[in-house]
């Protein structure tokens, strides 16, 4: 039950409207994906290697991982509203800096600062938990997540179209105005929701050993890290594959990058409908198997000399579909291992997952650099997806041992 004041739109003395929270989470997802179709063009513009420019993806993920460790205690102490407004302000200034950058090093510096907006996803969910009881909060977070799922579908398309019409700098101009719009919306609508207290950072650190001693926590976390790692590897290498290997324009690269997001949305829908019947472990295992099978067929076709942009990105849809089943259920699983440490488990699990994703993203970009085939990226995605499957099998076996 909502124990705060009633929600009144554009009244900063009341809790925020769900639309505000959806857009707040969406701006972070947009920042991650909108410039991806331009990555190869930016490599040429700055006169550097693709592996160097790919740090704009992997470095961003690493900065995001660090934020996951500290944002909960910081927002507990200083308030959700203050942290959101400061983070968005940093993001806007960093985006302007990225737009005006004249060297790759300058761009990467401002790109890391842009990671301040990554607080938006975590805090939008935290604000929902402040506002509602557990059952209602789960439903409302679902609305926020559904809104976020649309952004990776349309973000690269928007970025690709802007690049073709005006150049890559115009993408960051668009992001600047989007950030200002969300900042103004939050200023006028996002009232403070934190009730005070919460777990301090030192207290949070003291809970880590209990979690890290749990084999099932590691199993769920590994499954999530490897499963999402395949997707992060795709983000790191898709621009190179679409532009250099298949010769797609930035716009069509953006369209192609929407394929896994479509699969993810479908997987989320299936998970929501059938998880209660079959359980989180079975659904997560099914997701990992679907990913391995889909990407495995794509790999076999490439090894057989049968390859095209259409085939590559069509089979990448299976990666999204599998992760749509895997990710929600492993997230619930790692929080259920020690229910009294659910918040800490969520933050620590996310940090480990994103760190692993950053490494795999950079690995994919490095392996592809200078080549003329998507094969290195496919090998990385299939390997990590197989490890996610093995991790889920470990969790299931361990759970049976504990029950026995």
- Per-position pLDDT tens, the chain of length 404: 445 566 677 767 777 878 888 888 888 888 988 888 888 889 999 999 888 888 888 888 888 888 877 777 777 777 888 889 999 999 999 999 999 999 999 999 999 999 999 888 777 777 776 676 544 554 566 566 666 666 766 888 899 899 999 999 999 999 999 999 999 999 998 888 776 555 566 766 777 777 778 888 889 889 988 998 898 888 888 888 988 899 988 888 888 888 888 888 888 788 878 877 888 889 899 999 999 999 999 999 999 999 999 999 999 999 989 988 888 788 778 777 776 666 567 677 777 888 887 788 888 888 887 788 899 999 999 999 999 999 999 999 988 876 54
Residues 387 and 344 in one domain: yes
* Count of structural domains, the chain: 2
Give the 3-state secondary structure of residue 312: helix
| Domain stop point among 147, 180, 198 | 198
Structure tokens at 305: 């000399």
Alpha-carbon distance 242 to 96, whole Å?
A: 27
Predicted TM-score (pTM) of this structure: 0.77
Residues 113 and 229 in one domain: no
Report the first-to-last Cα separation within the chain, whole angstroms.
Answer: 38
DSSP letter (8 states) at residue 132: S
Residue at 2 is within a domain: no
Instruction: Specify whether the CB–CB gap between 182 and 45 falls below 8 A.
Output: no
Which CATH number does the domain housing residue 228 bear?
1.20.1250.20
Residues 42 and 101 in one domain: yes
Residue at 152 is within a domain: yes
């Amino acid at each position: 039950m909502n124990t705060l004041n009633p929600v009144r739109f554009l009244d900063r003395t009341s809790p925020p409207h769900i639309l505000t929270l959806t857009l707040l989470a969406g701006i972070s997802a947009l920042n991650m994906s909108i410039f991806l179709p331009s990555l190869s063009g930016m490599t040429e513009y700055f006169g550097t290697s693709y592996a160097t420019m790919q740090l704009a993806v992997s470095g961003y993920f690493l900065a995001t991982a660090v934020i996951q460790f500290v944002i909960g205690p910081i927002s507990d102490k200083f308030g959700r509203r203050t942290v959101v407004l400061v983070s968005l302000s940093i993001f806007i200034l960093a985006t302007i800096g990225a737009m005006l950058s004249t060297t790759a090093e300058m761009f990467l510096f401002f790109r890391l600062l842009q990671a301040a907006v990554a607080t938006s996803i975590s805090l939008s969910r935290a604000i929902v938990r402040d506002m509602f009881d557990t059952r209602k909060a789960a439903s409302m977070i679902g609305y926020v997540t559904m809104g976020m799922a649309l952004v990776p579908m349309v973000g690269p398309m928007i970025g690709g179209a802007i690049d073709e019409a005006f150049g890559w700098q115009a993408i960051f101009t668009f992001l600047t105005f989007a950030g200002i719009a969300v900042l103004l919306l939050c200023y006028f609508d996002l009232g403070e929701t934190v009730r005070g207290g919460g777990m301090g950072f030192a207290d949070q650190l003291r809970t880590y050993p209990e979690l890290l001693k749990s084999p099932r926590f590691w199993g769920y976390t590994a499954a999530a890290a490897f499963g999402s790692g395949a997707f992060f590897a795709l983000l790191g290498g898709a621009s190179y594959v679409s532009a250099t290997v298949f010769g797609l324009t930035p716009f069509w690269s953006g369209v192609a990058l929407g394929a896994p997001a479509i699969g993810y949305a479908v997987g989320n829908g299936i998970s929501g409908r059938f998880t209660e019947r079959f359980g989180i472990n079975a659904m997560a295992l099914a997701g990992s198997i679907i990913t391995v099978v889909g990407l495995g067929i794509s790999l076999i076709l490439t090894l057989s000399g049968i390859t095209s942009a259409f085939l590559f990105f069509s089979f990448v849809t299976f990666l999204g579909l599998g992760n749509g089943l895997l990710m929600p259920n492993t997230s619930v699983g790692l929080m259920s291992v020690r229910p009294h440490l659910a918040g800490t488990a969520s933050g620590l699990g996310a940090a480990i997952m994103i760190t692993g994703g950053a490494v795999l993203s950079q690995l994919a970009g490095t392996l592809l650099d200078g080549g003329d085939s998507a094969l290195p990226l496919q090998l990385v995605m299939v390997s990590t997806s197989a490890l996610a499957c093995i991790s889920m099998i470990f969790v299931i076996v361990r759970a049976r041992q504990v029950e026995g």
